[in-house]
Structure 1
């Protein structure tokens, strides 16, 4: 098994930090690509990538998006199209540079929405989403307002991962979602194009979404999509309900393979 930690690669003029675990030499085997949440980075996945690598024997890719973790800082203000930019420009370029095609995407929150947008336009073996959004709900905006009010208390925790980029990243996330232009953000039309096997996971107690997100995603993708609502779990299933979430992911990935 060959593990490359904390490499950087230039993508669209930006230095991106990534970790690439290579253990499978079969060119037909898909790579599991992890897409972190809106305030996240590689570390926010904890040991989930390594556990899935161990159990499936697949190669793993995790990376910090621009503005996050150890990647370059944001170079311009975010637009309401920031998730489209990542899914349709950055991620395809990154995968191409690393020689990865038809990935299995595993995305949490913003990362889940990016996974859906990528799969709507690019060949994808399968997707797993946790707490993905495809439209804006009042509960989402309320959750973000609570996060803004709590920011002074959580800033140090985020600083540990994002350093001097922390303030810029936090307000890029919060202000973009709370801008009046973002209210109309909706990717249902694109999700309707997805044809690959899809596992759509959400915590029943998710503080940023209702079950309508999951219901809608599954109805748009159709029979190749499975929904899983996890009990006693909020916005972060792979941490708050790790065992149940990993079990669902593994069962799904093995079926896909």
Structure 2
């Protein structure tokens, strides 16, 4: 593994810049209000489309007096934009790095790992990945944080950042049903996970990834195809 720089005694936090967070809270409600205004303008035309969803809402906008109808359309659009901003904030990744530990905060939860438990750190596309002592996957979190900022933070505190990406990328094999070589029970979990990926059920896919990790199986997704490898505590 690549060695990092000499550790520092401070804390480094990598998060979206404040101005970007403010922009999201302002821009999304504004875009939602704009969409609401456009829908109000086209409500009469939309009611003429057969079997269109939410027809009662469009009929209400065409029949309600002004300025009440426009104000309602703007308010509903802004609230929907605010909801999107809330989801973006909930999914936002924040990484806190010290000489002794790293913390990942995302989707309302925080994952903490000691420095001794982290054997490799790298980016896999937009995902930040941490590997453990037997090449197991400790964490895989998506985020729009700049790779340069993440790399500098981890190297500053002496973590083994992998500039070339996953050092075990060549060990992955594409999963097909009933493939031999997997631990007992892994094929069933991978089948269930394949169904979750087809349904875009990210929560179920995430839980099944955790269960596979307990069996010593690391999973990587590419366009809804699953690729797997075994950790070093299992024979290859």
TM-score (norm 1): 0.23
Higher Rg of the two aligned structures:
2
TM-score (norm 2): 0.24
